[in-house]
Structure 1
Amino acid sequence: MIHISTDMETQIIDDIMYRIVSRSMEHGEKLPSENELATKYKVPRMTVRNALTKLEERGYIYSKQGKGRYLKEEAMQIQLHLTGKTSFTDKMKQAGYELKTENFVCEKIDYNEQIYKILNLNKEESVFKVARIRYINEEPIAIHSSFVSETMFPRIAEDGPNIESMFAYYRNLGYKEFTSKKSLLSITFPTSNEQKLLSCKSMVPLIVVESDCIDVASNKVLEHTKILYRSDKFKYDITME
């Protein structure tokens, strides 16, 4: 019985996903009730509830207390070029988005072999993480973490909590032009803390972009960057510049 119930959950999920992808449902449209779906598929109401819960966890639908479940609004398309030549802040403002940045972390990190190697540091040196939440139209879109060397930026512990744009910070210190060697793209799922910061469910995939920022004049690596993007509220144009 459990096996059959699981199969039916999958069928319900697949059927609703097909309607979403084929656009036979409108964004914001109310879904049939649990009772209606249970009757349609000839399954217990709990089977329907489990299927809908999974769709909600994945970020496709949402609940209104006492009113039912609805298909989420259409995702906003965000143009995002995966290069280190222009800051995230500048990219979003140039594209006309209403961007807000909240700095929430400036802390010394434990030794991390990958990050230390990228920044060309030894174990005795210190690396600070400066993390910001990015909002578009008042909704959290990304967690942006920059890892920088205290050796290169001696005031980072004092300055870090007030930094919204690392590129602006670098420019104030005399760095003018930036580039990057490569960008890595992967997928992960949010931790409980990231769920709170990004206002998303545990099963909403996050797009991970890792890159570095290099000063063109000196060819020095200024920072290693890791950005976590929500995948459920936005579509990302990653066309290369």
Structure 2
Amino acid sequence: MENIEVRDYLIEKIQSFNGGENGKLPSENKLAAKFNVPRKRIRDVIINLEEMGMIESKQGIGHFILPKRKLLNIVLTGDVSFSEKMKQQTDNYKSVLTRLEQVVLTDHDSRQIEFEGSKVVYIIERLRYIDDEPAALHRSYVNGELFPEIKKERSQLTSIYQFYKNHGIENFESKFTRLSTIFPGKYERMMLHCENLVPLILVESDNWDKDHNIQLEYTEILYRSDRFSFQLKNEKS
């Protein structure tokens, strides 16, 4: 309980910090005396706050509140290009293809995929960088029947919307969007450079060729919750 009390006290200080001071936290010794707990308990809390990206420690000087990052706005639908949205808000955006492989769906797969007559699916995973830091992991489960030569076009896959447009598809539609919160596993922590205390926002959606009513993909996007704010629908709709 002491750890929770100390953490709540420090998080309140961090959240109320307006950037007008130097942002230095009380020393570990002062905090230990204030809460009448061993210094090790204070140190454990400090480490957790560092893992959450809230503070930084400067050896021999103390612990300091990190400036709040500007949150990037993201629309929670599958019919808006992530890359285009990010490029409107930052000049320092990069998408890197991290996985491209073929899988076969089973009848028991719980994903909302309606690829008529086809169970061949390509997983296309991209890691999204904002200001040179990984911020989102984007997985598209793409209809393999529509794009049988997709492996030969890997250089185009950092933006799946541009890939579709290159294939003559211009009008997109999303029929469902589901939002949930998860904590990162080992792979996600490695890819997104985050610790287990940083929750991820999981957005699942689909993407259809609106003109021909054909499902193009099912999508899973994992967002670092400390980098984005979320909009429920496109402001143009």
Counterpart of 1:139 in structure 2 is: 133
Counterpart of 1:188 in structure 2 is: 182
- Residue 211 of structure 1 and its aligned partner are, at CA, apart by 0.5
- Residue 66 of structure 1 and its aligned partner are, at CA, apart by 5.0
Counterpart of 2:101 in structure 1 is: 107
Counterpart of 2:56 in structure 1 is: 62
- More helix as a share of residues: 1
Counterpart of 2:113 in structure 1 is: 118
Which residue, 177, 196, 203 being the options, matches 2:197? Answer: 203
* Structure 1 residues 101-126: Cα deviation after superposition (integer angstroms, max 9, x where no partner): 111110123535123x513356x732
TM-score of the aligned structures, taking structure 2 as reference length:
0.88
What is the alpha-carbon distance in structure 2 between the residues aligned to residue 203 and residue 51 of structure 1?
Answer: 12
Mapped contact 2:54–2:65 kept (Cα < 8 A): yes
SS of the residue corresponding to residue 212 of structure 1 reads strand
Q: Which amino acid aligns with 1:39?
A: A
Which residue, 139, 144, 147 being the options, matches 1:150? Answer: 144
- 1:240 corresponds to 2:236: no
Mapped contact 1:75–1:235 kept (Cα < 8 A): no
Moved more, 206-215 or 40-49: 40-49
Calculate the aligned-residue CA RMSD, in Å.
Answer: 2.3
TM-score of the aligned structures, taking structure 1 as reference length:
0.86
Counterpart of 2:87 in structure 1 is: 93
Mapped contact 2:74–2:228 kept (Cα < 8 A): no
What is the alpha-carbon distance in structure 2 between the residues aligned to residue 41 and residue 120 of structure 1?
Answer: 59
* Structure 1 residues 32-84: Cα deviation after superposition (integer angstroms, max 9, x where no partner): 22222112222111111122223233332233455443222202121111223
Q: Which amino acid aligns with 2:24?
A: K
- 1:8 corresponds to 2:21: no
Distance 1:68 1:95, change over 3 A: same
SS of the residue corresponding to residue 161 of structure 2 reads helix
Query: Which consecutive residues of structure 2, in runs of 5 or more, have no partner in the other structure?
Result: none
Report % sequence identity.
Answer: 37
- Residue 24 of structure 1 and its aligned partner are, at CA, apart by 6.5
What is the alpha-carbon distance in structure 1 between the residues aligned to residue 129 and residue 197 of structure 2?
Answer: 21
Which residue, 24, 30, 39 being the options, matches 2:33? Answer: 39
- 1:219 corresponds to 2:216: no
SS of the residue corresponding to residue 76 of structure 1 reads coil
- Residue 237 of structure 1 and its aligned partner are, at CA, apart by 3.6
What is the alpha-carbon distance in structure 2 between the residues aligned to residue 136 and residue 57 of structure 1?
Answer: 19
- Report how many residues are paired: 232
Mapped contact 2:49–2:55 kept (Cα < 8 A): yes
What is the alpha-carbon distance in structure 2 between the residues aligned to residue 17 and residue 196 of structure 1?
Answer: 25
SS of the residue corresponding to residue 168 of structure 2 reads coil
